[in-house]
Amino acid sequence: MQTVVLIPEPEWRQILGRLEKLESADQLRPAASATEPDEVLPMRQAAAYLGMKPDGLRKARRASRIRGVRINEKEWGFYRSELKRYQHRYNRPPAPD
């Protein structure tokens, strides 16, 4: 059995107007929210992604050059976006001559 709720017509039109405003605002929102969720890579995968050794990545995390997240009591992980930020910040291409 389904429940039916009766709404007066003026109130219904007001609700539809608000819904249209929300949909138009949602279409104007940048597509960044539609991207994939940020992936957490374990220490070894993150180090391989950056092309460095896990010890170097641990040292960078301890020096606060890169932010890590705790996976469990022993292991650290890194968001892919944070790895990209670190890569662009600390591994700049050489300047042209």
Q: Are 39 and 46 in contact (CB under 8 A)?
A: no
Using CA atoms, how far apart are residues 8 and 57, in angstroms rounded to an integer?
A: 63
Q: Walk along the chain (97 residues) and give the pLDDT tens digit of each residue.
A: 888 889 999 999 999 999 999 998 888 877 655 556 789 999 999 999 999 999 999 999 999 999 999 999 999 999 999 999 998 886 666 667 5
At 36, give phi and psi (nearest 5°).
Answer: -65, 150
| Rounded-to-integer distance, Cα 69 and Cα 40, Å | 8
Tracing tokens 């992604």 back to the chain, one arrives at: 49
Q: What b-and-e string marks burial along 55-68, b requiring 16 or more CB atoms within 10 Å of the CB?
A: eebeebbeeeebeb
pTM for the whole structure: 0.56
